[in-house]
Structure 1
Amino acid sequence: MDAPESLEALQARHRKEQRDLVARLTQKKKSATKKTRKGINDECDRLEQELKERQAQELATLTGENLEESPGNEGEPEEQDDGRVNGLKEAVEGLSISSPERDGTAHPAAQANGPKKKPNRTKARLARRAAEQEALATQAADEAANLPDLREQERARMKEYLGKHGLQEKEIRADGHCLYSAVADQMEMTGLDVKPRILPKINVEDGVPAYKIVRHAAAGFIEQNPDDFVPFMEEPLEQYLKKIRETGEWGGHMELIALAKTYGVQINVLHGDGRVDKIEPEGANSGEGPEEIWLGYYKHNFGLGEHYNSLRKTP
């Protein structure tokens, strides 16, 4: 005959039965459909109640208690020297079986045996990338704060050299036409005619803006002397000329050469480091020297990049 089960062994078996039942109920409810959910919930309630009643009866039998006369969860049992009644009361009160769907808290065994929620790798990767970008932005801002202010340095140096040459700055709008607008302003200030020797292919009497006439003057000279300019172009001549005449494409050194020659003037370009580029017209060495016009070249001072201003003589 088997030895009677001790209270500790009985409680351990009851806990295992509770864990097993929780796992079974969890699986049943997960597999339920909309149509079968009510029936499965009722079955789960029945199984929970049956287990609770059976385990309570087994505890009562072991301790010699009558559950009908002295329910474990209504009145307080009389004290006994061996302490078994207190153990029965605590064990019966612990028979409540919670379902994770019912109270939102899974039994420890169900948590251990059930599927674990996987970490969201996409969110983690995006968060890590955002943190890296923020760190790079902070580093770039710190580096920029420690860099010298090139704009202010260039403006300070230019102001110094303007004083040495007796010039003052006439600011030209930074719109892509600055070189041509600055030349037009210089021609007007020196009393020279903005009409070039090679007449542009537009009617200059129809209220055309001065910078537009200067653009056509540069394009006309390049078109008449292609051998002097085509080797330095990165695109076909016609396409290059169209950009000069019809767009806001910036002008550069080739256009300055064309304008110096077609207008017969010497164009002096003052840089922020004090250097002066002198672009002379054809036949500059014969007879009296050519008229001079002055432009200021800025590399850092304007948002669009390279820029030209008109430099007028100080009164």
Structure 2
Amino acid sequence: MSESLRNASGSSSSSLNSSFQDTEDDQTIASILAEEESLKEENRLGKRLSHLNSIPHTPRVNGEIPDVNDATQDHGMLSERLVTYGLTELQMEGDGNCQFRALADQLFGNPEYHKHVRRQVIKQLKHHKKLYESYVPMEYKSYLKKMKKSGEWGDHVTLQAAADRFEAKICLVTSFRDTYYIEILPTNKRLTRELWLSFWSEVHYNSLYSTGDVPSRAPKKKYWLF
């Protein structure tokens, strides 16, 4: 093979790899999902925190966003709670996709699969409209159109849809004063996994791990307020 052909081959391969990563090929996602042992935790967090009393979850769209000072103070409160329970946040990028990034990290061990998670959530919302439309205070099609966009903040409706789509119990440790632990159960009550997220001040989600077990991967962009 000539040098030019080798270069062309390398360029083509690089282009294909880049395209593959950008589109997040669903076959690769399916392959990852099939690896049950690598995806399923031993629920160490769930066992350790089983004494926590959760409150019922009510799906809702995002409310009023606090100012920077209030948000920073709330995160300090959340950090104290996480220390108490031996938990540490793997911080997600503050690009508007943090909920989907945190879910992707818990599901696939890679927050970069957030686009796939968003697509699956939108499918769930679209195909099971009757489960969710009463929680959306706007025209439902407009809500779906808005939520499809990358960078659109996830809310408690999308969290419920994610729990339903992935048959997961989503456990939220929050910065809220009275509702610091929320469990989001799938509607059909069938559970195949637990996902642990932190949530503070209506503005940001991170992925939770036992302290000492946090993976080394890190976001490429700035964190929210950091």
| Same fold (TM > 0.5) | yes
Distance 1:218 1:164, change over 3 A: same
Q: 1:291, 1:219 → 2: CA distance?
A: 20
Is the 8 Å Cα contact of residues 170 and 312 (structure 1) preserved in structure 2? yes
**TM-score (normalised: structure 2):** 0.56
Counting only pairs closer than 5 Å after superposition, residues 290-301 of structure 1 correspond to structure 2 as 290-299=192-201
RMSD over aligned CA atoms reads 2.4
Is the 8 Å Cα contact of residues 125 and 161 (structure 2) preserved in structure 1? yes
1:309 and 2:214 are equivalent in the alignment: no
Q: 2:150, 2:79 → 1: CA distance?
A: 32
1:133 corresponding residue in structure 2:
none
Counting only pairs closer than 5 Å after superposition, residues 110-189 of structure 1 correspond to structure 2 as 150-189=70-109
Q: 2:84, 2:120 → 1: CA distance?
A: 32
1:253 and 2:156 are equivalent in the alignment: yes
Distance 1:173 1:226, change over 3 A: same
Structure 1 runs not aligned, ≥5 long? 1-148, 195-208, 300-304
Counting only pairs closer than 5 Å after superposition, residues 203-282 of structure 1 correspond to structure 2 as 209-272=112-175, 273=177, 275-282=180-187
Is the 8 Å Cα contact of residues 168 and 311 (structure 1) preserved in structure 2? yes
Is the 8 Å Cα contact of residues 121 and 158 (structure 2) preserved in structure 1? yes
Quick one: which amino acid aligns to residue 280 of structure 1?
L
Q: Give the deviation of 1:151 after TM superposition.
A: 4.4
Higher relative contact order (CA 8 A, sep 6+): 2
Distance 1:155 1:246, change over 3 A: closer
Q: Give the deviation of 1:310 after TM superposition.
A: 1.3
The 3-state SS of whatever aligns with 1:174 is: coil
Shift >3 Å, 4+ stretches: 149-153
Q: Give the deviation of 1:166 after TM superposition.
A: 2.7
Identical residues among aligned pairs (%): 28
Q: 1:217, 1:262 → 2: CA distance?
A: 7
Is the 8 Å Cα contact of residues 260 and 280 (structure 1) preserved in structure 2? yes
Is the 8 Å Cα contact of residues 216 and 244 (structure 1) preserved in structure 2? no
Distance 1:218 1:150, change over 3 A: same
Q: Deviations over 1:260-304 (max 9, x none)?
A: 0100111011111361110011343x6xx64211111111xxxxx
Quick one: which amino acid aligns to residue 276 of structure 1?
Y
Is the 8 Å Cα contact of residues 164 and 188 (structure 2) preserved in structure 1? no
Q: Give the deviation of 1:153 after TM superposition.
A: 3.4
Counting only pairs closer than 5 Å after superposition, residues 26-175 of structure 1 correspond to structure 2 as 150-175=70-95
Q: 2:121, 2:150 → 1: CA distance?
A: 13
Structure 2 runs not aligned, ≥5 long? 1-68, 214-226
The 3-state SS of whatever aligns with 1:229 is: helix
Q: Greater strand percent: which structure?
A: 2
Is the 8 Å Cα contact of residues 212 and 245 (structure 1) preserved in structure 2? no
